[in-house]
Structure 1
Amino acid sequence: MACRISEIVIDSADPERLATFWSEVLGFVELDREEGGVIEIGPADPGFGGPQPTLVFLPVDTPTTGKLRLHFDVNATDRDQDAELERLLALGARKVDIGQGEDAHWHVLADPEGNEFCLLRRRLLPL
């Protein structure tokens, strides 16, 4: 039998802010909140253990330095890429230039704490 990713844990200076941002981006809800500021978000149903991994925001005091070795790719489900880009920017994302060039079919963005993610062109069906 194989394993499956159930949670992705993200170190954060402000878990509340990142949990709110990513809940809006992904349409997730808060699933759990632990003493010490840990917040878990995920799909409303079935949540933890369902087909999508949940996101856990863990408070840390030390800032991240250097480039992260992992990033998310996201796709819009109910609008085109341009409309989704505007929505993400309004939520607090910012554009990032990592040398992708003007002819790239994706947009490189950063969340409120600077974690990079990409908005891809193809629209996906919602789960």
Structure 2
Amino acid sequence: MACRISELVLDAADPERLAAFWSEVLGYVELEREEDGSIAIGPADAGFGGPQPTLVISPTGDPRPAKLRLHIDVSATDRDQDAELERLLALGARHADVGQTGEESWYVLADPEGNEFCLLRARIRPA
């Protein structure tokens, strides 16, 4: 038996804003709120423990020290890459420069708090 990723935890200065952003990006809903201000989001039909990992947006007052050593890759499920890029930018993502050459098949973006993520070219089936 092996492990699988069940949750990803993102520290955030503004958990409400980041939870709203990632909920829109992934089609997730709010699953739970903790007393410490953490907000768990995930698929509406599965919740925690389903085939897709949930995200826990956890409040922090600490400044982000540098580029994250882990980032999220996303792929569109119902449109092409360019249409999905437009949607993500309209939600508050922005282009990020991490030293790419311009020849990549993906776009490097940042969420509203500057966390880098990539929009891949491959379109995948919805979960």
Same fold at TM > 0.5? yes
Q: Which amino acid aligns with 1:97?
A: D
Q: Which amino acid aligns with 2:95?
A: K
Instruction: Name the residue aligned to 2:98.
Output: 98
Instruction: Name the residue aligned to 2:15.
Output: 15
Deviation, structure 1 residue 101: 1.5
> Is 2:13 the counterpart of 1:41?
no
Instruction: Name the residue aligned to 1:110.
Output: 110
> What do you get for the CA RMSD once the two structures are aligned?
0.7
Deviation, structure 1 residue 15: 0.5
**Alpha-carbon distance in structure 1 between the residues aligned to 2:104 and 2:4:** 31
Instruction: Name the residue aligned to 2:2.
Output: 2
Bigger shift: residues 94-103 or 76-85: 94-103
Deviation, structure 1 residue 102: 1.7
Instruction: Name the residue aligned to 2:78.
Output: 78
Measured against aligned partners, the alpha-carbon deviations of 1:57-107 in whole angstroms (never above 9, x if no partner) come to 110011111111000010000000000000000000000111211211100
Q: Structure 2, unaligned stretches of length 5 or more?
A: none
Deviation, structure 1 residue 36: 2.2
Consecutive aligned runs of 4 or more in structure 1 exceeding 3 Å deviation? none
Bigger shift: residues 92-101 or 69-78: 92-101
Identity of aligned residues (%): 74
Name the count of aligned residue pairs.
Answer: 127
Q: Which amino acid aligns with 1:108?
A: V
Q: Which amino acid aligns with 2:98?
A: I
Q: Structure 1, unaligned stretches of length 5 or more?
A: none
Instruction: Name the residue aligned to 1:65.
Output: 65
Q: Secondary structure at the match of 1:47?
A: coil
State TM-score, norm by structure 2. 0.97
**Alpha-carbon distance in structure 2 between the residues aligned to 1:5 and 1:104:** 27
